[in-house]
Amino acid sequence: MTYTSSPLRNRRAASVLVGAFSALLASAASAQAVAPQPQGVLNLVATATLDVPKDWMTLVLSVSKEGADANAVQNQLKLAVDAALGEARKQARPGQLEVQTGAFSIYPRYNTKGVINGWQGSTEVQIQGRDMTTIGQLTGRITSMTIASVNYSVSRETREKMEAEVTAMAIARFKNQAQLQAQAFGYGGYSLREVSVAYDAPDGGHPVMMADMRMAKAEAAPAMPVEAGKGSISATVSGSVQLK
C-alpha cells in the first residue's frame, strides 16, 4: 500500500516539533532561573607599600639664541650643544650617566607689521643616570647651556625588584585575611575563586624648574646640590575566596 503526505499532515507535524522545542527552551530557562547562588563567597582587598629611594636623576639643559639670520642662530645653537656634549661625554657610562640631545626649534620673529625681523631658536641636552653626584657636578662645568629642569625618579630595575617584593607582601596579607575571616565566620579554610594584582608606582615627580639660572653663564658655576628623596610603591591584591 502507498501512503502520500498531505499539506495538513505536514503542518501538524511541524507544529508538534515547534511546540516541543519551545517547551525545551522554557525548561532550560526555568532551570537557570532557579540555579542556586554561590554561598560562602568572600570578597577581599589587601595592600602593601614600600618606601623606595629615587635613584634616577634627569637633568635637562637648554639654551636659546636669536639673531637676524636663521643660519647664524642655528650655528650658535649647534656650538652650544657641541660644547655641552663634549663635557658630558667625558663622564658618560651606561646606566650611570647617559647623554642625549633633546628638542630643537627655530622660528621667525615678526615686527608689529607682520614682517620677519629676526630669528629665535632653542635646543636641549638631557643628562640622566644613577650617578647623581657627577651629574650635579656637570652643571658647574657646562657653561654653554643652563639648567631647565631637574627630575628624580625610580629606575626601572629598582622598580621591578621592589614590585616583586611588595607583591609578595600583599599576597601574604590577602591570604592571612582570608584565613582569619574564614575562621571568624565559622569555616575551616578557603579556596581562591579569582584574584588580581595592581600596582601604584611613583611617577617621576614634578620637575624642579630652574628659571633663575636661564641666563648665559660666563664662567663655571658651583655644582648643583643633589637630594633625590624617596617615593613609594604599592601593590593591591583583590579577589574573592570560597569559604570551606
Confidence of residue 176 (pLDDT cuts 50, 70, 90): very high
What per-residue confidence (pLDDT) applies to 20?
53
Residue 24 pLDDT > 90: no
Across 205-213, average pLDDT: 47
Give dist(CA 244, CA 238) in Å, integer.
Answer: 19
Within 10 angstroms of residue 60's Cβ, the number of other Cβ atoms is: 20
What per-residue confidence (pLDDT) applies to 27?
57
Residue 163 pLDDT > 80: yes
pLDDT in tens, 25-58: 555 555 555 556 678 899 999 999 999 999 999 9
Short-list 138, 122, 240, CA closest to 182: 240
What per-residue confidence (pLDDT) applies to 223?
74
Q: Which residues pair with 123 in a beta bridge?
A: 63, 104
What per-residue confidence (pLDDT) applies to 206?
47
What per-residue confidence (pLDDT) applies to 224?
76
Sign of the CA dihedral with 134 first, then 136, 141, and 145 last: positive
pLDDT in tens, 105-154: 999 999 999 999 999 999 999 999 999 999 999 999 999 999 999 999 99
Residue 234 pLDDT > 90: yes
- Residue 217's φ and ψ, nearest 5 degrees, are -100, 125
Classify burial at 98, counting beta carbons within 10 Å of its beta carbon; exposed 0-12, middle 13-18, buried 19 or more.
middle
pTM beyond 0.85, yes or no: no
* CB of 230 closer than 8 Å to CB of 190: no
Which residue did the predictor score with more confidence, 22 or 193? 193
